[in-house]
A = this chain, B = another copy of it.
Amino acid sequence: MVQAQVWNLAKHFDGFPDDSNFELKVEELPEPRDGEVLLEAVFLSVDPYMRLVSCFSLNEGDVMIGTQVARVIQSNNSAFPVGTHVVASCGWRTHTVCDGKGLTTLMADWPQNVPMSLALGAIGMPGLTALYGIEEVLGLQEGDTLLVNAAAGAVGSVVGQIAKIKGCKVVGSAGSDAKVAFVKELGFDEAFNYKTVGSLEEALRKASPDGYDCYFDNVGGPFTTAALQQMKNFGRIAVCGSISMYNDSTPQTGPYPYLTMIFKQIKMEGFMETRWEHKNPESLKRLMGWINEGKLQGREHITKGFENMPAAFIGVLKGQNIGKAIVSV
């Protein structure tokens, strides 16, 4: 009989999450039946979207949503023999019994020297989000100037690197000097700390006096108000996240963007990476290829210990991570 540790949503978020929103439980797991497997978490993902989605999809007492890299430690399903590593969306749990549905086996020839945790980052959902935002939404072209915010985060850091691979000028905004130094190391052409820069408009203008062809938005709110003013005519905006707004109890307001969108004939599109799921196998291979060639770095911010899931999650919402935030068990 295996005991799973499980983090539940103790009470719904209202404003910024704290420890009181979570409770750690122990769950007795049944033996896997025919077709089922027993998974053991190796790496768990903490992501900003969890703040948002849990409000709509969870009841108090439910297991927190989330994805993990897990190892099959018991198997009655020939598709997932013992020792297989899978990506599983089974929430904040150390152990899980499930049938094979929704499990994705890690790429067959995953290289020894590439951490499997990247399957939750640069070679996983955040990497795919960056890639699809750039290719499917923005249609980024060589020579374009791209703006990305939360640039040191799991998605933003990959966005900037892919844009550099594609021959673009990349400007990044991030929330600390260490993050700015990090994205410059990654090859960003310009980067600034939006918290200390004074006027955001001025910083955006200085970083690219000619304006921006493309803007990959992870932040929303007033940042986008400022960015809109610096877009070139026919600018394209991929709306991927709104982390500046996730912890608001009442919706933030600001000037309507519509007039600017008309004058500059701007296209703005909200998206989720699941839309292009059918392309994932091919796309993950491309991301892995760039990692192997040294063109893409998958920086991670690893917190040790399943007991630290809430702290790691709150850290992400506070912007304490550089690169992809991961909890290792």
* Also in contact, A224 and B258, with CB within 8 A (given A253-B253, A267-B267): yes
Asked whether any CB of chain B lies closer than 8 Å to the CB of A304, the reply is no
| Chain B residue contacts of A271, Cβ below 8 A | 262, 265
Asked whether any CB of chain B lies closer than 8 Å to the CB of A139, the reply is no
* B240, B270, B275: the one within 8 Å of A266 (CB): B270
Contact with B along A237-274 (1 / 0, CB 8 A): 00111100100000111111111111111111111100
Q: Is there an interface contact between B270 and A269, defined as CB atoms closer than 8 Å?
A: no
| Chain B residue contacts of A319, Cβ below 8 A | none
Residue from A240, A255, A262, A265 with most neighbouring chain B CB atoms (10 Å): A262
* B245, B263, B275: the one within 8 Å of A258 (CB): B245
Least CB separation from A271: chain B residue: B265
Cα–Cα distance between A242 and B224 once the two chains are bound (Å): 19
Cα–Cα distance between A224 and B52 once the two chains are bound (Å): 23
Asked whether any CB of chain B lies closer than 8 Å to the CB of A221, the reply is yes
Main DSSP-derived SS at the A contact region: mixed
Q: Is there an interface contact between B275 and A268, defined as CB atoms closer than 8 Å?
A: no
Least CB separation from A252: chain B residue: B256
* B240, B251, B264, B267: the one within 8 Å of A256 (CB): B251
Least CB separation from A262: chain B residue: B270
Query: How far apart are A303's CB and chain B's nearest CB, in angstroms?
Result: 27
* Also in contact, A256 and B262, with CB within 8 A (given A267-B268, A267-B269): no
| Chain B residue contacts of A254, Cβ below 8 A | 253-254, 256
| Chain B residue contacts of A252, Cβ below 8 A | 255-256
Asked whether any CB of chain B lies closer than 8 Å to the CB of A220, the reply is yes
Asked whether any CB of chain B lies closer than 8 Å to the CB of A217, the reply is yes
Some 30 contacts from A to B, beta carbons below 8 A apart, are: A52-B259, A217-B258, A220-B256, A221-B258, A224-B256, A224-B258, A241-B262, A242-B258, A242-B262, A245-B259, A251-B255, A251-B256, A251-B259, A253-B253, A254-B256, A258-B270, A261-B269, A261-B270, A262-B270, A262-B271, A262-B272, A263-B270, A264-B270, A265-B271, A265-B275, A266-B270, A267-B269, A267-B270, A268-B268, A268-B269
The 6 closest A-B pairs by CB, nearest first: A261-B270, A262-B270, A220-B258, A251-B255, A267-B269, A253-B253
